[in-house]
Amino acid sequence: MPTASQIIVPTLHHLPRCSPEVQKLELQVLWEPSTESIGVEILMSLERLKVLKFMLTMSMVPDVLPRLATLSSLTELWLSVQYMDTGDQDDEDITMPDVTFPALTKLSLQTDYMSQSNVFLRICCFPRLQELYIRVEKVESTELDSEDLATMVRLISQCCAHTVLEKINVQIDGDSSEQLFSAVSLRPLNVFRRLRILEIGADLHFLLDDNTVRDMATSWPCLEYLELWVLAPPQSLTPTTLEGLMHLAKHCPSLQTLAINVDTSRPITTPLSELDGSHCNHVLDDLSTVHSPVLGDPSEIGAVLNAIFPNLTRVNEDEIDEIRDSWRPVEEAMRKLRDGCQSEDTA
């Protein structure tokens, strides 16, 4: 029975002759990892190729990446990496030359392991990349490794232009981990001043305090979506509180959607009288507190949220019943405040 490469390679050989002007190509190569080659050099003649969706075995990457980078019109690259053969080298010691994709604006990278994603980021450079999507489907052990995620964040800040990247989406599948991930490790991302969207999904306990949230908010004035689908830290540790949300309301006027663990058990130190228009975001209408139930006074929490997010209409709509139900008194408190304001306006 012919292998996948034996079927695809002859077809690709005809492509430059039959469709030399092709701009979009999608290859689904679903064979077991091996040393088979699919003749990537054939793609090099497709000079107008702009979008490439490519399933391949990572044993070919040392050969493939430099060749793909020569496609000067390539703006979108989708790679699903199923296997990596780095020979006798450890991931940290790989000595491939830097590979620059000069025109790439969108990259979607799917790997089995975090180390594979990190190797890819370590050897590549994307001076025009605007959108970065990374999905890791497995982990090397039964638990996620917070150090691997910290390394990934650092590599993203090194391989992408700080004034160009606008969207980062990192999703890591795997078993829940008891490891703590200090959100201080997210600070390398603060250099992306034009960042509009940051989405991270991982079953790690994020330590994200109000000062770190403030630094993020002041670094990303264009932020529209911030979604941190992660585990809440133990309550004994410093978490994000409503004070942290105030920083986002003040410094991110375009923020539309927010998903973040919030500890509402701690007292609010900023008086409501100080929350003037400069602390107000009129755009955000959707808030998820992820794994965080209400632990404080619903009326006080509702008053703060109403002051900083006056157009907030959806709170934990898609969360589990326990979380969603605990926030209903807060929503009711916000509704009463708004109804009261409307009554005063019409009086």
Give buried/exposed letters for 213-242 (b at 16+ CB in 10 A, else e).
bbbbbebbeebbbbbbbbbbbeeeeebbbb
At residue 266, the pLDDT reads 86
The reported pTM is 0.88
Domains parsed from the chain with CATH numbers: 4-273 (3.80.10)
At residue 174, the pLDDT reads 72
At residue 344, the pLDDT reads 56
- Beta bridge partners, 274, equal none
**pLDDT tens for the 347 residues of the chain, in order:** 445 555 666 666 666 666 667 788 877 765 554 444 555 666 777 778 899 887 665 555 566 788 889 889 999 999 887 665 555 555 555 555 689 999 999 999 998 888 889 989 999 999 999 999 999 987 655 556 788 999 999 999 999 999 999 999 999 987 666 778 888 899 999 999 999 999 999 888 888 999 999 999 999 999 999 999 988 777 657 689 999 999 999 999 999 999 999 999 988 888 777 776 677 999 999 999 998 999 999 999 999 999 999 999 889 987 778 899 999 999 999 999 988 775 555 55
Q: Which of 19, 8, 69 is CA-nearest to residue 46?
A: 19
Q: Which of 27, 26, 29, 10 is CA-nearest to residue 18?
A: 10
At residue 215, the pLDDT reads 97
At residue 140, the pLDDT reads 59
